Chain A
Amino acid sequence: MMRVELTVNGERRSDDVEPRLLLVHYLRETCGLRAANVGCDTTSCGACTVLLNGASVKSCTILTVQAAGGEVTTAEGLAAADGELHPVQRAFRQEHGLQCGFCTPGMVMATVGLLAENPHPTEKQVREGLEGNLCRCTGYHNIVRAVLAAAGEASAGGVSAGGASAVSGASAAAGAGSANAAGEQVRP
């Protein structure tokens, strides 16, 4: 067993882990954060994508001990404290960018990482940027729309871009106080 200290969704943690424990299993079993999923054995599908120090990584391919000292953000840590969705989460809902939901937390985190690197991607750049995240339900059509919509919202000032960590991105979004798009189309 080895002791690791790291920050998960803003919370400092210290845990004893097996040296071979994958980060995704640490997040799911030790931390009880089960949004990140395991969809393959070969780092191909991206369902386990989380942010490590602001960059998207596949948590099935990182040992927990390799993340020691780092800051991990999962989909659970993306929404604001009051529950308001992060602009990327909101865009996925608005554009129907999810169906069964299994790839979704990873897809959302990959998108946050993508937009941090490239705040104004073209459709082609979105498709190439998400090539490592597989989805069987949507045909990617609405996922691409969601990413472009989130980028549009970012350029309108909703998301702090340019290498900002997801945590600060989330608080910036909450601070922007944008309308609750989700509620508008639901029948009153």
Chain B
Amino acid sequence: MSILGTRVLRIEDPRFLTTGGVYTEDVVDDRLTGACHVFFVRSPIAHARIGGIDVSGALSAPGVIAAFTAADLADLPDIGPMMAGLTNERMRHRLLATDVVRYVGDAVAAVVTEEPYQGEDAMELVDVDYEPLPAVVDLAAAESDEVILFEEAGTNIAANFGDPATLDEHLFDDCEAVVRQTIMNQRVAPAPMEVRAGAAAWGEDGRLTAWIPNQGAQGTRSGLAGLLGLPEEQVRVITPDVGGAFGAKFGADPEHAIVAWVARQLGRPARWTETRYENLIAMTHGRAQQQTVTIGGSRDGTVQAYRLEILQDSGAYPRIGAILPFLTILMTPGPYALPRAEAVARTVVTTTTPLGAYRGAGRPEATAAIERAMDLFAAEIGMDPADVRRRNLLPPFTEPQRTAFGALYDSGDYVVALDKALAAADYAGLRKEQAGRRERGEAVQLGIGLASYVEITGMGDGEESPPEENATVEVHSDGSATILTGTSPHGQGHATAWAMLASDKLGIPVDRITLKWGDTDLIPEGGGTGGSRSLQHGGAAVQQASAELIELARARAAAALEASPADLVFDVDRSAFAVAGDPEAAVPLARLAEAERLLVRTVFSAPGATFPFGTHVAVVEVDTETGKVTLRQMVTVDDAGFVLNPLLAEGQRHGGIAQGAAQALLEEFVYDADGNPLTASFADYPFLSATEVPSFDLADMATRTSYNPIGAKGIGEAGTIGATPAVQNAVIDAVAHLGVRHIDMPTSPQRVWRALQAAAASGGPPPTASPAGGSGGSSPRASTSRSEGA
């Protein structure tokens, strides 16, 4: 029986459980002996002109070696758009703030000390003269350009995706029912358990070695070289163990470049580890997208038109988050057959922490919008949300299908996913329980929320350059093997999964296969881990390399056995070649590595991105007297193709579901009107704990894709994509009969309670969808509501 598809325990676990992982702060290396420690002085004010910076006090403090400001870094290039042409070219800045700070957390100086505790003391002694400027926190205020962050740019608009002027004013003309709603997909902190860190040492050859927790050493090397103005060959990036990333550790940050610059300037290695406070204000945030959805259709449940208008918060400096609306727009229609759909987006800068990728990166926002819209439409016409979805889902398809937004869905069977999830949750039984509680007027009401989704995983750089990844597999003469991969595991279990793929071909036990990654000198090329790409590209490359290695070995075996290559069979169970019909005449793979290295490097290329899909069902209880929400049950169907190792795939689903539920229920990074962060510690940021979620019910569905020989699509982000709107919809569903149409996330007790109060004040329960009024034709009634305050 093949090892593929079985629950192999992780080979990487024992060291994590005993000595612990070796994260960047744990790295002990000769090259880092005598390292100094870098600390960043950060602006406590959201928007201010810098009158002056006096580091003399810090310089006279114990253990202080140096202190630097932007003036010292003048030899380094400035920072422009991360992706040329996509964001405003004139929104440029330096590694340290020069004349203006633009968010609380903007770094203005670096203090370097012998010992870490000395740095924490000395930072306090840097005197910065701030002349406050008005903060820009509200998105509408930013768009109005009343206060401009970048004078050179003359506007706060960092990017536009589509032109609002081209929206069709007649899009909803023939709809019997139209609903419009503004939704805030709120700002959250990725908050990996390991904060950001870095270490840097320069060799006598003038090359930089940088240890950085990241999601892809090769991309990080490019980014770091760019920030330092160096050719890539002069930079080596080493990836130690990484304590979670969730999209926020892609590439190099300005701090990493400064640490490297400090090491060169002082002629000694340098290290940096941020505090959690710094992490929460200075690592990129996620989401922060205001959406206005309009959905219209006929009262039989058929959706005829959908519009999504996005206002994306980029934070102070346009980074990846500024361009993520591109992905949201790509996935606008989700799994539905929408006759007409439109989407536009605008990104604005605000005096807040810059936005980056966060688990799902633009796609959860698309799913949240359409899934909320589906429920709003269902409520408007008085139809069960499951029925509305079933009526509008695309029929099953096995040949790639192009959407109006350009995405090429590889395969899908969305109705089956919906029905499986409903059956696993006993949807009919839940609705009955809900009806009973409503009838009895119980204080604690039941809510059932659905989200059907399709997402995009394993994207390349457009269809002209298909996604690819490399792998090297080497069999050693002692019977062990080594794999080099361009992916970058940080919890996903690649060491085990890639070993399973090689073991299946080579017959070498999993625990005798070592995976190496994250060293640009050893593995110069690679796409890293993100966008749920790793197994379908990196895993497929390992499988391909293993198969090619067998063929390379076949020629050597033929020589060793004095047989024709065609007469040889590879016996996986013995990891040996044997002559067909004469199993005694055999040569082990390991022996073929004795005289000459037995090694293959290959590149796997996929025809395109894959589109996993599924349905999540959330069940919540809402206390209508206090607004408290309890997540009672999560049932999910997540079809990501073939499941290589159910243990690992389930782990990815669990974690994603929890993060999705966390956004729906609890988490939000909050600023006051002056741009002060109010949730800058784990005491204030409501990071999900074990008490706030139940165990999850995972239903199986695995339809192979033809895009790679494994048959796998990506699974890493399904949880945040499906669970977030499912939980939000469940909360609203619990109180819908009391007149509540929408509650923004997080659905905190205060928000739920306020929504209930507002609904009661405006006359309580809505009239159930009345077929009367016949508003079809050319004057649709768009009902708009925003059912809760700020």
Contact = CB atoms under 8 A, between A and B. Distances in A.
A122 B486 CA distance: 43
A76 B193 contact: no
B16 A101 contact: yes
A96 to B, nearest CB: 5
A187 B509 contact: yes
Contacts of B191: 136
Interface string B1-22: 0010011111111101111111
**Dominant SS among interface residues on chain B:** loop
Interface string B487-512: 00011110000000001000001110
Interface string B39-82: 00000000000000000000000000000000000000000000
Nearest to B279: A40
Interface residues of A, number: 61
A44 B695 contact: no
B430 interface: no
Contacts of A79: 17-18
Interface stretch (A63-71, A127-135, A151-159): A127-135
A37 B194 contact: yes
Given A39-B276, A134-B689, A186-B8, A102 B244 contact: yes
B683 A104 contact: no
A1 interface: no
Interface stretch (B166-174, B252-260, B653-661): B653-661
A113 interface: no
A36 interface: yes
Nearest to A140: B690
Contacts of B194: 37, 39, 100, 102
A23 interface: no
A99 B509 contact: no
B201 interface: no
Contact of B18 (A76, A135, A136, A143): A76
Interface residues of B, number: 64
Nearest to A74: B20
A45 interface: yes
B331 interface: no
A26 B689 CA distance: 28
Interface in A100-146: 100-105, 108, 123, 126-128, 130-145
B242 interface: yes
A38 B24 CA distance: 12
Contact of A93 (B10, B275, B510): B10
B192 interface: yes
A98 B659 CA distance: 16
Contacts of B117: 18, 20
Given A41-B275, A93-B13, A126 B244 contact: no
A31 B7 CA distance: 37
B651 interface: yes
Contacts of A20: 117
A94 B9 CA distance: 7
B683 A42 contact: yes
A140 B659 CA distance: 11
B762 interface: no
A130 B692 CA distance: 12
A83 B493 CA distance: 22
A92 B17 contact: yes
Nearest to A127: B690
A136 B358 CA distance: 13
Contacts of B719: 139
A35 B19 contact: yes
A126 B18 contact: no
Interface in B441-499: 490-493
B503 A187 contact: yes
Contacts of B163: none
A182 interface: yes
Contacts of A139: 654-659, 693, 696, 719
Contact of B193 (A94, A108, A123, A135): A135
A188 to B, nearest CB: 6
A34 B26 CA distance: 6
A187 B2 CA distance: 10
A20 to B, nearest CB: 7
B232 to A, nearest CB: 28
A184 to B, nearest CB: 8
A140 B658 contact: yes
B21 A101 contact: yes
B277 A130 contact: no
B108 interface: no
A41 B659 CA distance: 22
Interface string A169-188: 00000000000001101111
A98 B3 CA distance: 22
A47 interface: yes
Given A41-B276, A134-B688, 11 more contacts: A35-B18, A101-B20, A127-B691, A131-B691, A134-B689, A136-B191, A138-B658, A139-B719, A140-B689, A143-B690, A144-B690
25 contacts: A34-B19, A37-B243, A39-B194, A40-B681, A85-B18, A92-B13, A93-B17, A94-B9, A96-B647, A96-B651, A101-B21, A101-B243, A102-B194, A130-B690, A132-B689, A134-B687, A136-B191, A136-B659, A137-B491, A140-B689, A141-B693, A143-B690, A185-B8, A186-B11, A187-B509
Interface of A: 18, 20, 28, 34-42, 44-45, 47, 75-76, 78-79, 83, 85, 89, 92-94, 96, 98-105, 108, 123, 126-128, 130-145, 182-183, 185-188
- A-B pairs, 6 with minimum CB distance: A139-B658, A102-B243, A35-B20, A99-B491, A100-B491, A101-B16
